[in-house]
Amino acid sequence: MSVLKKSNNGKIYILRSYHKLILYIMNILYKFFSSIVTTVVLLALYASAASVATFIENDYGTSVAKYLVYNSWLFNVLHFLLAVNMIVAFFKYKMYEPKRLSMFLFHFAFIVIVIGAAITRFISYEGSMHIREGDTSNKILSYISYLQIEINNKEFVYKSETPVNFNAVSGNKFNEGIDFDNEEFSINLKEVIPNAVENIVAAENGRAIVVFTFLNNNIRNNVTIKYGETKWVGNQLFCFGTNSPDNAFYLDYINDTLYFMNNEEVSYSMMRDTIEGRIAAKNLTPLHTKFLYSWNTNALVLNKIYPKAKTELRSMGIKSNGGQNALIFDITNNNQTQELLVFGRENYLGKQKSITSGKYKIGISYGSKEIDLPFSLKLDDFVLEKYPGSSSPAAYESFVTLTDDRVSKVEQH
């Protein structure tokens, strides 16, 4: 088949259709996808990839296995080829006929699994729900880690979140410029230390470092602050040796003594003793160990003072899964750059760490986030069965009640 077409300059071109070429290519593709050899090769590749991913996950963690295998485009292509192969074989061998019911069930189930995997991978989200017996929850903790940024000037708030997978083998790059309130902010990820622990070591040219336990709205925080730093912990601002606003808890190290000053009255009591009293607001007072200091819904216990020290981050190794990743950011505003250290990892709720720059509070958190569900689950009963004569669990089951107020539905499972 051919078509004649006359151009503007009077010349005549013959446009040949390529239907024969298209049919030839389609025939090759049909033979390829309907071949048993293709099926065997694809399944072997799939099994090999899954096996390798299992070993990677066991040695380096889930995030590395996702980065190298599960979330790679090659693994997605392999899924697609297997799905097409199964669909072509389904019609070629007429598996919809009653006499081929067993083959029909196998191929149809595999196709459904691949479709479900594609939905999970591209258009849905996964998470885990932590719920105690008798409690009700409608929140899950995402399996994906997010880098969440918040900038607050007490009038307006800028928020952003980016799904990330920082691990020992990925590039670990992040650089974002933010225009907020007619100000330019630059946030650059300088370094990622996998499975990091923070050690405080003595240093001749170091500065004073204070370690204390701070209870804010019944949430316990272990806080380390260096001389010259400001740090937000929950809704409380701490300033160590710097000019502090009225709402800050001020610390200073003078003549080998640690002092504090608060804008509110502080109650104190000595642990394991009957000594107690009150300290007036805005009164510079020595801060001692073994004392509990409390105000409003806050409480503080001083753990240790390091007169001259520095902090060192050390990785426990890429094969360790016990620690959190340490992310070191450079945050630039008004030509001033500050360093912010953030800890986090997947499957743990990210805790925000903050710095102040002028009137702005800049906070970053790294880790999983809470996702609200359109329904709620109540754990009615949790049954744990053990092996006879052993404390090892043999099996468990949960009885839950699902409540969906959108359609007035209550179901027990």
The confidence band for 306, taking pLDDT boundaries of 50, 70 and 90, is very high
Which residues, other chains included, contact 49 with Cβ-Cβ below 8 Å and sequence gap of 6+?
A: 69, 75, 78
Asked whether residue 3 carries a pLDDT value surpassing 70, the answer given is: no
pTM score over 0.85: no
Mean pLDDT, range 368-381, rounded to an integer: 92
Domains of the chain by residue range: 2-122, 129-140+371-412, 144-366
Rounded distance between C-alpha atoms, residue 156 and residue 405, angstroms: 33
Rounded distance between C-alpha atoms, residue 124 and residue 15, angstroms: 46
Which structure tokens are listed for 66? 């996702």
Helix ranges restricted to H, 230-325: none
> In degrees rounded to 5, what are phi and psi of residue 57?
-65, -40
Residue type, 389: G
Rounded distance between C-alpha atoms, residue 286 and residue 279, angstroms: 11
The confidence band for 322, taking pLDDT boundaries of 50, 70 and 90, is low
Asked whether residue 218 carries a pLDDT value surpassing 90, the answer given is: no
What's the whole-number average pLDDT of the chain? 86
Pairing outcome for strands 236-240 and 248-254:
parallel
Half-sphere exposure of 380 (CA within 13 A, CB side): 8
> In degrees rounded to 5, what are phi and psi of residue 211?
-120, 125
Q: Is the CB of residue 307 less than 8 Å from the CB of residue 208?
A: yes
Judged by average pLDDT, the poorest of 40-54, 125-139, 318-332 is 318-332
Judged by average pLDDT, the poorest of 41-50, 108-117, 134-143 is 108-117
Percent of the chain with pLDDT over 70: 94
35-57 pLDDT, tens digit each: 889 889 999 999 999 999 999 88
Mean pLDDT, range 348-364, rounded to an integer: 90
What pLDDT was estimated at residue 331? 94
Residue with tokens 């979140």: 161
The confidence band for 392, taking pLDDT boundaries of 50, 70 and 90, is confident
What pLDDT was estimated at residue 211? 95
Asked whether residue 152 carries a pLDDT value surpassing 70, the answer given is: yes
